[in-house]
Amino acid sequence: MGAVHTALLLGTGLFWTVVYVLLIRTGLRERTFGMPVVAFATNISWEFMFAFVRPAPGVMHVVNIVWFCFDLAVGYTVVRFGRAEFPYLPDRFFLPALALLLALAYPGMNYASEQFDEGVGTFTAFGSNLAMSGMFLAMLAARRGSRGQSPGIAVSKLLGTACASASMLTDPDRAARYDSALMYYLYAGCLLLDLAYAGAVFAVRRAEAATGREAAEPVAGSAAVEAV
């Protein structure tokens, strides 16, 4: 059981690292961002909290620091290319709006962690992952194409979060502590939405290939949905 649990933890770290690398590479190549803005705000808040404020135990502390650095790179793509994805938002409002979002995200994640998990990051990690999976689907629909996204990102996200869920179930101490209907709902919800996202990305890519067109450019009118 110990070897299986360790392998699942390694899988979580590996697959999510691949997600970050592909998000950054694809965003720079296609001059956009690949992680929904709200998901980016909650994600970088969580990484900062459990890398520096309340460090996670053992190797996860190092992993969280590395992921936080990747989040900074993702943040660069948001700042550098994000204005084009919000055509109805005046340019001068984009950075203040992003700063306000980040300012709201951190205390929200902190209060949720303290309220529901005694300051630990488990509920907030899986809860934000569930929301993030829905946001990726919404972003795919808003962009009307796969710009900034790829099958590699979708599959790696699916496998990384699935490994994280399975690692919880194979850790006797954590499995007992988090043996609740809410956690099982989060495990199942993440898996179902990640499967739906991966299937949608593959379907969109096939459609793009069949019509011989590239991923769509930013579409006027998509800003309201793109916010997620």
Q: What is the pLDDT of residues 80-98, one digit of tens each?
A: 999 999 988 898 999 999 9
Distance CA 140, CA 170 (A): 33
The amino acid present at 39, given as its one-letter code, is A
Task: Name the pTM for this structure.
Answer: 0.89
The per-residue pLDDT for 59 is 80
- Structure tokens given for 74: 């993702």
The per-residue pLDDT for 224 is 43
The per-residue pLDDT for 220 is 47
Which residue intervals of 178-218 are DSSP H helices? Answer: 181-211
Q: Band the pLDDT of 48: cuts 50, 70, 90.
A: very high
Q: Band the pLDDT of 74: cuts 50, 70, 90.
A: very high
The per-residue pLDDT for 3 is 87
Q: Give Cα 202 distance to the centre of its chain.
A: 18
The per-residue pLDDT for 56 is 82
Task: Write down the mean pLDDT value for the chain.
Answer: 91
Q: Band the pLDDT of 58: cuts 50, 70, 90.
A: confident
The winner for highest mean pLDDT among 17-31, 172-186, 212-226 is 17-31
Give the chain's radius of gyration (CA, Å). 18
What is the CB neighbour count within 10 angstroms for residue 94? 17
The answer to whether residues 120 and 173 touch, using CB atoms and an 8 Å cutoff, is no
The per-residue pLDDT for 214 is 58
Q: What is the pLDDT of residues 129-170, one digit of tens each?
A: 999 999 999 999 999 999 999 999 999 999 999 999 999 999
